[in-house]
Structure 1
Amino acid sequence: MSGERLVIKIGSNVLTDARGRLDRRSFRRIAGQIKKLRKQGKQIIMVSSGAIVCGSEKLKLNLAQKTIPQKQAAAAVGQTLLMNYYAKFLRPLPAGQVLMTTFAVSNKERSQNLRNTIEQLLRMRVVPIINENDSVVVEEIKFSDNDMLSARVAALLKADKLLILTDIDGLYDSDPRANPQARLLRVVDKITPEISKMAGGAGTHKGTGGMFSKVQAARLAVKNGIETYVLNGSRRNVLIDALERQTAGTRFKAAK
């Protein structure tokens, strides 16, 4: 197959408004860009969080107060809703759901099966939409919000680029929510201990603007030769701008 291969990770915070409720405009905005990229001949693999948020809204649950079993139940209900939204806004492109757990990319045989499935979907011009199976997996609910999963998928599929959409413009040299003078880093040549510290350090799974897990994901991706971007998913045409090297987010250069 020809065409640049992109893995696009969409965080739950990109799909919700300021009150934490689903924002249908976000689905429309992201889907519109994906359709444009497909017209350009690019291969698109999506990794999307959001099942728990979708299920919580449907079941009228308070996300902040739910137990792990309640979150897993919300994910079971919400995953169908999440896929319905994507299927609706991606039309006429077909979307295919791929639910997985982290050991699917750590076991050689399972990794090969996963790769074969996604490669077949791409050959059939389907947009694969991957999510960790939150209804049975606890770790993702507690920690990664699919950041590391997206990097592992990108490495497995030998993607050209990984684009991580979140609710902040990129990596800053300090927390922009606490420091109005914080400076956005446009390009990171190498992920050094200093860069990791800017992202929040190893003592937290989120860090500055939820950056720690994203920088960890970028570290894995660039190590595998995959250029990585952290972008504000609420920005109009942010995917297009980043790929055309317009001013958008933070770009982590791939290791040579």
Structure 2
Amino acid sequence: MRSQRWRQRDWRHCLKRSQKTLRIVVKVGSSVLTGGKASIIKENLSRIVRHIAGFIEGGYDVILVTSGAIASGLSVLGLKKRPTELSELQAAAAVGQNILMHNYIMEFDKYHLKCAQILLTKDDFRDRKKFLRNTLDTLQKHKVIAVINENDSVSVDEIKFGDNDILSAHVAVLAEADGLLILSDIGGLFEDFDPATKTGTLIEQVEKIDHKIERLACGTDNMSCVGGMSSKIEAAKISTREGIPVILANGLKEDLKVDFSPIGNAVRHRIDGTLFLAGKK
């Protein structure tokens, strides 16, 4: 059973007070890696890796849950937009996962960091939870970054998570993470949100996810994305009820003062997005 250390506490305070290595799950959406287009923008991936490297240098353990396999495979298959047929999606994922992982390996190598690919379906959480947890712990022991994605090349409706927001929440719970940071092209949860400009009144902190919060969720029409705000709210519900706080932040934004992305902002300096407080267990 997890302790109640997160209950009604500010995440920044908890990170400062702890002397142990804190395990953070960072989820990077396709919208961050593609900028809303049909292929990965290498500069965006490089920026994420650069800041994760700095994050790890600061003493934190990071598990990365990444989207982008299908988007990476579209151009190879000559596709200009995300297909709708399952077989086409699976083919794009099969081709694109290799490309995506190669890019992560090359970028992490610049910082002398190693990473390992883990592809998952729901079955892995039903039948192989102990083995998966052992793998994550062993990778951490050897200072290897777990790079996790859903196994889209073989997933069908019965064993799919639906999107990586939900997957990242289940990974955070399984790994007994100290926090879940979900990065997208939107800087948090907003009231009066305008999808065209992606602006509105930011809700800085959510103590409880109720019907009002759920009604604020809205989707995205990016061609290579499947997750919208509703799936992020659902991921926050899964995590917070297990005692894990969640931050939604903009993964495209840079802090020019200290050259930190929202990964650094959220954990080292301030909460640059929406913080969902951990609930009681």
Match of 1:223 among 231, 238, 241: 241
Match of 2:272 among 245, 248, 253: 248
Gaps of 5+ in 1: 202-208
Shift, 1:143, TM fit: 7.1
Question: TM-score of the superposition, structure 2-length normalised?
Answer: 0.82
Distance of aligned partners of 1:82 and 1:46 in 2 relative to their CA distance in 1, 3 Å threshold: same
Report percent identity of matched pairs. Answer: 40
Distance 2:197 2:104 in 1: 36
Shift, 1:61, TM fit: 1.2
Amino acid of the residue matched to residue 115 of structure 2? A
Query: In 2, are the aligned partners of 1:134 and 1:140 still within 8 Å (CA)?
Result: no
Aligned residues: 247
Between Structure 1 and Structure 2, the one with more helix by share is: 1
Distance 2:272 2:26 in 1: 15
Distance of aligned partners of 1:183 and 1:94 in 2 relative to their CA distance in 1, 3 Å threshold: same
Work out whether 1:24 is the aligned partner of 2:48. no
Distance 1:68 1:141 in 2: 14
Shift, 1:90, TM fit: 1.1
Work out whether 1:94 is the aligned partner of 2:118. no
Distance 1:143 1:179 in 2: 29
Amino acid of the residue matched to residue 96 of structure 1? A
Partner deviation per Cα, 1:199-221 (whole Å, 9 max, x = no partner) = 149xxxxxxx8100000000110
Partner deviation per Cα, 1:54-94 (whole Å, 9 max, x = no partner) = 01122221333442101101100111111011111112100
Runs of 4+ in 1 over 4 A off after TM superposition: 140-143, 178-181
Query: In 2, are the aligned partners of 1:241 and 1:248 still within 8 Å (CA)?
Result: yes
Match of 1:74 among 81, 92, 98: 92
RMSD over aligned Cα atoms: 2.2
Distance of aligned partners of 1:10 and 1:179 in 2 relative to their CA distance in 1, 3 Å threshold: closer
Amino acid of the residue matched to residue 26 of structure 1? N
Work out whether 1:132 is the aligned partner of 2:139. no
- For 2:126, the equivalent position in structure 1 comes to 106
Distance 1:200 1:10 in 2: 18
Shift, 1:146, TM fit: 0.7
Query: In 1, are the aligned partners of 2:72 and 2:96 still within 8 Å (CA)?
Result: yes
Select between 98-107 and 45-54 the one with higher mean Cα deviation: 98-107
- For 1:206, the equivalent position in structure 2 comes to none
Residue aligned with 1:162, SS: strand
Partner deviation per Cα, 1:80-136 (whole Å, 9 max, x = no partner) = 1110111111121001000111121133xx000100111111101000001110001
Distance 1:70 1:181 in 2: 34
Shift, 1:52, TM fit: 0.4
Distance of aligned partners of 1:88 and 1:178 in 2 relative to their CA distance in 1, 3 Å threshold: closer
Distance 2:95 2:51 in 1: 27
Quick one: higher RCO (CA 8 Å, sep 6+), 1 or 2?
2
Distance of aligned partners of 1:140 and 1:253 in 2 relative to their CA distance in 1, 3 Å threshold: farther
- For 1:238, the equivalent position in structure 2 comes to 262
